[in-house]
Amino acid sequence: MESQKRIQATLEKALAQDNLFQSYIFSGPRNSGRLEMALNLIKKAICHESELTRFSGKKISIAEVRDLKRKFSLQKRNYNFCLIDDYGALTPEAGQALLKILEEPTAKTHFIILTEDHTRILRTIISRCQVFSFNRSQQVDDPSLKNDTEFLIEVLGQDLKDRFDLAKKLSSSKTLETSISNWISLSRTALLEAVHSPQGQSQSLGKQYSLKEISSIVKSLEASFSLLQKNVNSRLILENIFLSL
């Protein structure tokens, strides 16, 4: 699939430039290529002296996750990888322990989390990962994602007064966190397209944006999502988002 070729090219470029994200989520059904992509990245990193810890086929306890930080702090490799074959195998306590590790990252330590549905992952974990989808056809048919796509494009095309009116209406939405999470995913997809565009641009957000502009949008959305988790006023957060777009 063309989308997977773009994902592979993005990962290989990041590895070559020593610029890997700390954490990745590969989302999609089994046998969609997500595991092969993860193992391929780790295999290429072995040339740079890497260490792999893999969780596969069993429940993952909080003790095992906590031990990762100690283990990785003792490693002197150029890269340390943790591959979690199924996010659903984490106990709730282990999921919280993983979040703490992602909040206080160890240098040269990278996580790859596989899941069939990334929307079931803690949103605070998602906000700290780069998400790659291996089931794009399903995402297109997802009504919530389609609606959020249309809404974000609508906002980008409006003046400041209309944006503030929308912020007031949306601030009371019970699905606000999901919407912002979807906006982040959409913007990251646009960023991926811009990276591989000869012109360094993308039109996925309704009009043509440069790589620098999309990067700014992604950073603004990620910062706003983090504030939302801290119970900052939702209307203020939305106004800040819409001002920065």
Q: Do 155 and 105 belong to one domain?
A: no
Q: Are both 100 and 19 inside the same structural domain?
A: yes
Regions of the chain where pLDDT drops below 70: 1-3, 47-50, 76, 135-150, 203-204, 206-207
For residue 8, the model assigns a pLDDT of: 86
* Same domain assignment for residues 13 and 112: yes
Domain end residue (candidates: 119, 136, 153): 136
Tell me, yes or no, whether 234 and 169 share the same domain: yes
Of 136, 163, 182, the residue at which a domain comes to its end is 136
Alpha-carbon 94 to chain mean position: 19
Same domain, yes or no, for 56 and 103?
Answer: yes
Per-residue confidence (pLDDT) for residue 91, from 0 to 100? 93
Q: What's the whole-number average pLDDT of the chain?
A: 81
Q: What is the pLDDT of residues 77-97, one digit of tens each?
A: 777 889 999 999 999 999 999
217 near 240, Cβ under 8 Å?
A: no
The model's pTM = 0.58
Distance of CA 241 to the CA centre of its chain: 18
Do 150 and 235 reside in the same domain of the chain? Answer: yes
Residues with Cβ within 8 Å of 112's Cβ and at least 6 positions away in sequence, in order, are 23, 24, 26, 38, 41, 42, 81, 82, 83, 84
Domain finish residue from 136, 167, 182: 136
Share of the chain above pLDDT 70, in %: 88
Q: Are residues 149 and 228 in the same domain?
A: yes
The enclosing domain of 158 has a CATH number of 1.20.272
CB 24, CB 130: distance < 8 Å: yes
Q: What per-residue confidence (pLDDT) applies to 141?
A: 38
Q: Are residues 153 and 70 in the same domain?
A: no
pLDDT reported for residue 139: 40
Same domain? For 187 and 227 the reply is yes
Structural domains of the chain, count: 2
Whole-number Å distance between alpha carbons of 186 and 217: 11
Q: pLDDT (tens digit, 9 = 90+) per residue, 188-234?
A: 777 877 777 777 777 667 667 888 888 888 888 888 888 887 888 98
Examine the domain organization and report whether 83 and 190 are in the same domain. Answer: no
Tokens found for residue 29:
């059904």
Please indicate, yes or no, whether residues 107 and 159 belong to a single structural domain of this protein.
no
Q: Please give the pLDDT value at position 63.
A: 93
In this prediction, residue 62 carries a pLDDT of 93
Torsion of CA 30, 35, 36, 38, to 10 degrees: 150
* Other CB atoms within 10 Å distance of the CB of residue 43: 11
Residue 38 belongs to what domain range?
A: 2-136
Do residues 75 and 173 share a domain?
no
Write down the pLDDT at residue 47. Answer: 61
